A and B are shown apart, each in its own frame.
Chain A
Amino acid sequence: MKVESFCSFFQNQESSKVTRRNTRSSSSVTVENPEPNESHQPTVDDLTFGEESITLDALLSDFPGRRSQILDLIRLIGPLDCPSFPIMVYGDASTGKTSVVLQVFRHLNRPFVYSSCRTCYSPRLLFESVLNQLLLHSKCSSNGYSSAKRCDKPSDFVNLLRQALSNVMETLDSKSGTSRSSKPDGKPVGKMVYLILDHVDLIKEWEKGTMILQFLFSLYSVLKMPQLGIILISGLPPDVYYSNMGYTDPIPVYFPVYSQEELHQIFLRNQANRDLYSAFLDSVLKPFCRVTRRVDELSTTISSLFRKYCEPLDDLGLSPSEDLKRRLYNQLKPLIAPCLNEIFRVSSRPNDGDNRGERRQKASCSSENREEVEKLDFHMSTSAKYLLIAAFLASRNPATLDASMFDSTGGMDNRKRKRKASEKSMEKKEIAEQEAVMKGPGSFPLERLLAIFQCIASVGDSSFGEEEEGKEEEEEEEEATGYDRENNNLMSDVLLQVSSLCDANFITKSGSCPLEGSVRYRSMVSEDLALKVARSLRFPLSKYLYRR
């Protein structure tokens, strides 16, 4: 009772103003946008899902394993025109939260407003997105792609939201008055608008995120408009948001991770040959479920695997016999293991009909990996390679060992003697060492990097020289002119190389004044890559690595 009187009061006050504004804006749009291409003035109808509403049965069969959640949601949203408390839908990624909520609204055919905090990455965008939808505003070139209202602050948002809502209420009221019983498709039902906010957990990362979160949680009590239902979708459980601020806690609805059978049913939907696909899933799903149960991760790999599964088959329509199943499985078996690994990699869909050399797919990554161990597949200048190795050594070896590893001349024989001494101490401090490994690469000042660089560059060059002498005496004089110069050159432009290594993420820098020289660096290179680089230089990296 109270609610209705409040509502009508609002309507009386606002209706005249709002309608006038509305008409003005719509007329201006039509004048300024003469081209007929899809100029579309949104109406209240656009607040619904927009497609044919579906029955509850269809909804339930669309989402295997989500029956209880769907029923919960419908129950919590409540019957037509009945105010509801805020609801929080939470669960892991790719468990169907957004889809279920949206499809439930499609089923209920009620008006709603959806905003994702991912797309709207700041409070202002979030507020304006909600208001734009409620005010039925669409961005276009004629209005300079601007929002309907400029809204930065939560307080402004509350006011503007109130206005916009009552405006919508009024139109909804008039609509439902005219065509209540006929219930056509796509027309909104009821006198409530629901606000769906997706990815609420991202707000925590925002600047002043906690403040915005508290505002959103208390929005229901602040607004005091029961016509607005609020549904928050979050990847994190509600506990992380709560604080004793005195607002009504939203009612949680948990979306658990799918089980293997549920995944089976999900993937089996919309398949042409259910028998074949089911046989395929039987063989594939189990190993994958141990790694991940996210539908989105699984669907890409599984669809590409299924394509390979079907390759030997001529007729995709046949239902497979046990024998055929076994044969297909045996063919597929070697492909599964690399794909398991692949889930955490860049997923790739093999493009059909691609036989050009330059368009190899990453699906065949595992076989390539073995080749790549041998050589580096991108170009680096020699001095950059030495720098990379120097950085790697500086990060792995303790600084105190530098003196024993490299003496000033960088001699080879000297080093071996010293290394034996360090080997003894190595045995003593095995545990300390392991700790050091767990700590990851260490940081080092630029001076140390350059010192090591100078040592190993000179060693590397002298070893080159030896090789030359041994092999081609006759060419000595020519090579001497050419390669002496190389040796000298290696030292110039080193700082430039350091910066380009930093750019390529091989070395990271902890910031400080560059003039002071107190910046510390850290090598981010994997041992694999360092070994590869060392091999391309024929540099004995393992000899220089402490603990090896």
Chain B
Amino acid sequence: MAPSGTVADPPPSSATDSFNSGASEENDIRPFFVLHKASSGSLQGKSTGTVRSKRTIESPTPKIAKKSEVESAEEEDGQFLSNRRLKIFETVWSKIEKTIENVLRDSNSKIFNGIYDWIRESFESIRSYGALSLSEAVRSYPVLTQASSKQLFTALVLTRNLEMVDDLLTFEELNLHLKSQGCHVAKLSSMDFSAKNGVGGCLRGLLRQFVMPTLDVADVTTLASWYRENENHKNPVVIIVDDTERCCGSVLSDLILILSEWAVKVPIFLIMGVSTAHDAPRKILSVNALQRLCASRFTLSSPAERMDAVLEAVFLKPCSGFTVSHKVALFMRSYFLCQDGTLTSFVRTLKIACLQHFSSEPLSIMLEHFCQDRSNQLTGEGNGLLTESTMKHAFDLPSVTRNKITRSTCELLPQFLLDLQRMPNPWSIVVLCIYEAGKFDKLRLLDIFCETLDPEARYLKYFSPSAIVNCQSQVSGRSVIRQVLRKLRDLSPSQWRSLLKRWENLSAEFSEINDKVMELHPLKRSVEAAGQRQGLPNSPKKHASRSHTKLEKELSAMADKVAAVIEFMLREYMKPVESVPFHEILCFKNVDKLQSALLGDPRGRIQSDLLEAHNILHCICCSQRGTTLLPSMHDTSILYTLAQEHADVINLHDWYQSFKTILVSRSSKTKQNSKTCSKSKKRKDRCEEPEAPAEALIQARFCRAVMELQIAGLIRLPSKRRPDFVQRVAFGS
């Protein structure tokens, strides 16, 4: 774990803090910042000091300023290393990001080509009605050929995710793809379809993208005249609406009706992104508009499928070397399934994990070599990465001490690292093999990945004979590997053939596994032969004939054999990352940090911060207050602490009175104190003026604090019915 390492050498720990504050600032400091915008300067140090925030707060104490030479030198060293780590993080992350981008592009390209083909076909069919002369094409009355000429070709692109975030990029890429094929493309979003601007708003948006940015009035005739100029009419016009559900239905209907009046003169293709069911347009469009749509459906790959592809590319294929532990993987999985369900958030989680890994693990710089091509640079330590302190840190890693590797084997470190570098290969082959087997049951790689990362290898127990008996009796279970094993028994000969073929391909680079797979071939042949004898190779369990029983026997023998191979693979090669020495270099394990960075719990944070503001402000005046409220505290903080004494409604008058007592009585007391002790240094703040603040000032401060609480969503302002009471909205912290 990281804490033990950070105790060992202080400079990286300061870097840790700076990284953390940087990360947390992005995530959850903002609501807090709203509250304290006008407060004292110590916060500014926090909000601006991105790199060394902790230190700037502590720096007034002279202890740190007088550092020994050695320490400062070490600090410089640490600074150098942390900068370097940041740089390496950037290279590693850019590599991961690029990989993900490529995966997504590949997964979409088939659909994109399908859409383009559809556009071309339909465009040709429109042109087959006959070419229009210019005067025909721009005149105001419709072309009277047939009723279907009013149809508007529409593609419903099902994104199959409630959240739109992932698909913004997809539609952007579709836009580029179609543009590169020569189509005229305009992209409208739900913002263009607001009820306020009406149909004029979206037409204006269209013309802005097609014709020119400044137009007096938005009018379809303009579009028609533009389309007839400069060879524009050689290509179709495509309009992409990426989030149909969010559009104002009446405006979209109007646009469709208008465009359909011009359908032949300007061949328009509508591409509508639909995030829920395919009948969503039916819910928002009017009947007349629906009737004008000639809809085809295109289905994007589901988020889970994309997720699997991304996982495979990032963790199982050689990519960056960075990986995550079992617990982190479980957390990421549950976050994906329960919370957000978008790939975007998954990638963000991954990025946070990666960043935190680099910030907390000094040895993470080694990842640079994993990231680059696999040439052995590790042995030649020319760049002075392995300084004394990092070496010490490396041998203090829990995985190293657990395996009883001592300093004496120091020269073995490069060897271990090489192993580490090589290690994922058989592991990922095994995971992919199981994934292939699981595909028949539509298992998700995400689940398999999470299960196989388990450092205690609990999945092995499914191979004990009792478990095999068990697994047939139970209908459903959580364990993915057990499901795979169960499914193996139901495979048909043809499925066996394809499975073995894919296993062969996967294990081609790794001879040990490949040999085992090859051993299965004779069995496969006998199964096939049995299947052919039966004449129905695809339905092994249909006929209760004698040949069938023979086939069944063969099949079950096959299944047993394959299960044995899987077991062999799991036992021999599936060393989960976490059981390997020095894995901390590659593997991010701190799930709590990730969770707090990701979920944040901003409301709870606001409440706890309000109650203990001095922990953040670090002012001297309120540090030793104990449980009493001091007038030097921030007004909002005082008010919120006072509000804790009330039930769900707070009488404004009482509240104000107690607020006033705290400000007035205390300040008068300090006035006396200041006269005797003359500790004027303490009172820099205006709140602490010697004389009691005027009534008007107290009222003003009260009002402001109440407003701040309301903005933070902690109280609700008085209603008409009960003008003297505010209501508490949030309870507990």
Partner of B335, one of A40, A361, A483, A489: A489
Contact with B along A508-547 (1 / 0, CB 8 A): 0000000111000000100001000000000000000000
B135–A383 CB distance below 8 A: no
B588 at the interface (CB under 8 A from A): no
Total count of chain A residues near the partner, CB < 8 A: 94
Closest to A493 in B: B339
Query: B309 to nearest A CB, angstroms?
Result: 15
A427 interfacial contact with B, CB 8 Å: no
Neighbour of B139 across the interface among A46, A346, A504, CB < 8 A: A46
Specify which chain B residues have a CB less than 8 angstroms from the CB of A46 in the assembled complex.
135, 139
CB-based contact A125/B219 at 8 Å? yes
Are the CB atoms of B297 and A472 closer together than 8 Å?
no
Partner of A505, one of B280, B335, B600: B280
B215 and A485 within 8 A (CB): no
Q: How far is the CB of A403 from chain B (nearest CB, A)?
A: 17
Residues of A contacting B146 in the complex (Cβ-Cβ under 8 angstroms) = 299
Q: Choose the segment among A113-121, A245-253, A274-282, A324-332 that binds chain B (4+ C-beta atoms closer than 8 Å).
A: A113-121
A378 touches B277 (CB 8 A): yes
Residues in B neighbouring A299, C-beta threshold 8 A: 146-148
CB of A129 within 8 A of CB of B221, answer yes
Asked if A98 lies at the interface with its beta carbon under 8 angstroms from chain B, I say yes
Residue from A303, A356, A380 in contact with B148 in the complex, judged by beta carbons closer than 8 Å: A303
Q: B299 interface residue, CB < 8 Å from A? A: yes
Structural contact, A485 and B296, CB atoms closer than 8 A: no
Q: Complex: how many Å from CA A198 to CA B141?
A: 9
B400 at the interface (CB under 8 A from A): no
Tell which of B379-387, B662-670, B671-679, B711-719 binds the partner: B711-719
The interface residues of chain A lying within 8 Å CB-to-CB of B243 are: 503
Contact of B277 among A144, A377, A382, A472 (CB under 8 A): A377
CB < 8 Å neighbour of B297 from A116, A125, A361, A381: A361
Of residues 145 to 168 in B, which have CB atoms within 8 Å of A's CB atoms? 146-148, 150-151, 156, 158-164
Interface contact B291-A145, CB-CB below 8 Å = no
Residue in B144, B225, B279, B341 whose beta carbon sits within 8 Å of that of A140 in the complex: B225
A482 at the interface (CB under 8 A from B): yes
Contacting residues, chain B, for A37 (C-beta < 8 A):
229-231
Q: Chain B residues with Cβ under 8 A from A347's Cβ?
A: 151, 290-291, 293-295
Rounded to whole angstroms, the CA-CA distance of A490 and B599 in the bound complex is: 11
Q: Is A300 an interface residue (CB 8 A)?
A: yes
Known contacts A303-B148, A489-B338: A471-B474 contact under CB 8 Å? yes
Q: A119-B220, A121-B200, A505-B280 are in contact. Are A483 and B334 (CB under 8 A)?
A: yes
If A50-B136, A472-B477, A489-B335 touch, whether A378 touches B158 (CB-CB below 8 Å) is yes
A146 sits at the interface (CB 8 A): yes
- Do A362 and B140 touch (CB < 8 A)? no
Closest to B151 in A: A300
Q: Which of A14-22, A72-80, A312-320, A473-481 contacts B (4 or more CB under 8 A)?
A: A473-481
Asked if A402 is at the interface (CB within 8 A of a chain B CB), the reply is: no
Task: Quote the shortest CB–CB distance from B427 to chain A (angstroms).
Answer: 20
Contact of A500 among B163, B257, B302 (CB under 8 A): B163
| Beta-carbon contact of B134 and A345 below 8 Å | no
Scoring B residues 249 to 290 as 1 if CB is less than 8 Å from chain A, else 0, what string do you get? 000001001100110000000000001111111111001101
**Which of the candidate stretches B110-118, B406-414, B513-521, B698-706 sits at the interface with the other chain?**
B110-118
CA distance A72 to B145 in the complex (A): 24
B478 proximal to A (CB < 8 A):
yes
- B443-465 CB mask vs A (1 if < 8 Å, else 0) is 00000000000100010010000
* A114 and B141 contacting across the interface, CB-CB below 8 Å: yes
Of chain B, the residue at the smallest CB distance from A384 is: B162
Is residue B582 contacting chain A, with contact meaning CB distance below 8 A? no
User: Distance (Å) between the CB of A75 and the closest chain B CB?
Assistant: 22
Using known A-B contacts A118-B261, A139-B225, A474-B461, determine if residue A125 contacts B217 with beta carbons closer than 8 Å.
Answer: yes
Which residue in A351, A468, A479 is a CB contact (below 8 Å) of B121? A351
Q: Assess the A145–B222 pair: CB atoms within 8 A.
A: yes
Interface code A243-273, partner B: CB below 8 Å = 1, 0 otherwise?
0000000000000000000000000000000
Shortest A87–chain B CB gap in Å is: 17
A300 touching B136 by the CB < 8 A rule?
Answer: no
- Closest A residue to B198 by beta carbon equals A121
Interface flag for B199 (CB, 8 Å): yes
* B729: interface (CB < 8 Å): yes
Q: Which residues of the other chain, B, contact A344 by a CB distance below 8 angstroms? A: 287, 290
* Chain B residues closer than 8 Å to A482, beta-carbon distance: 330, 334
Q: Mark B195-229, 1 if CB is under 8 A from A, else 0.
A: 00011100000000001100111011110011011
Q: Complex Cα distance A504/B247, Å?
A: 10
- Judge whether B634 is part of the interface by a CB distance below 8 angstroms: no
Given A50-B136, A140-B229, A492-B599, answer yes or no on A300-B148 (Cβ-Cβ < 8 Å).
yes
- Greatest chain A CB density within 10 A among B296, B304, B337 is at B296
The interface residues of chain A lying within 8 Å CB-to-CB of B221 are 119, 129, 132, 139
Contact partners of B331 in chain A: CB under 8 A: 485
Is the C-beta of A359 less than 8 angstroms from some C-beta in chain B?
yes
The answer to whether A377 and B160 touch (CB under 8 A), given A93-B288, A347-B294, A359-B298, is yes
Within 8 A of B (CB), among A127-169: 128-129, 132-133, 138-141, 144-147, 150
A440 at interface (Cβ–Cβ under 8 A)? no
Is A118 a contact of B335 with CB atoms below 8 Å? Answer: no
> A358 within 8 Å of B by Cβ?
yes
Residue B509 CB within 8 A of the other chain: no
Residue of A nearest to B215 (CB): A145
Q: Scan residues 567-621 of chain B and give those whose CB is less than 8 A from a CB of chain A.
A: 595, 599-601
Interface residue B40 (Cβ < 8 Å from any Cβ of A): no
The chain A residue sitting closest to B230, CB to CB, is: A37
CB contact list, A1-54 vs B, under 8 A: 35, 37-38, 40, 42, 46, 50
Closest to A106 in B: B144
Residue of B nearest to A122 (CB): B200
Contact A119 B261 (CB under 8 A): yes
Q: Are A360 and B297 neighbours in the complex by a CB distance under 8 Å?
A: yes
For A99, give the chain B residue with the smallest CB separation: B144
- Chain B residues within 8 Å of A384, by CB: 162, 341
- A485 contact set on B, CB distance < 8 A: 330-331, 334, 595
Residues of B at under 8 Å CB distance from A? 110-111, 114, 118, 121, 134-136, 138-142, 144, 146-148, 150-151, 156, 158-164, 198-200, 211-212, 215-217, 219-222, 225-226, 228-231, 243, 245-246, 254, 257-258, 261-262, 275-284, 287-288, 290-291, 293-299, 302-304, 327, 330-331, 334-341, 454, 458, 461, 474, 476-479, 595, 599-601, 710-711, 713, 716-717, 729
The 8 tightest CB contacts between A and B, nearest first, are A381-B341, A114-B141, A382-B338, A139-B225, A299-B147, A378-B160, A145-B222, A379-B161
> Given A346-B295, A347-B291, list of 15 further CB < 8 A pairs?
A35-B230, A94-B147, A119-B220, A145-B225, A362-B278, A377-B160, A381-B162, A381-B336, A475-B458, A481-B327, A482-B334, A492-B600, A504-B276, A505-B246, A516-B717
**Could you pull out 6 A-B pairs where Cβ atoms are within 8 angstroms?**
A121-B258, A146-B216, A346-B290, A347-B295, A359-B114, A489-B339
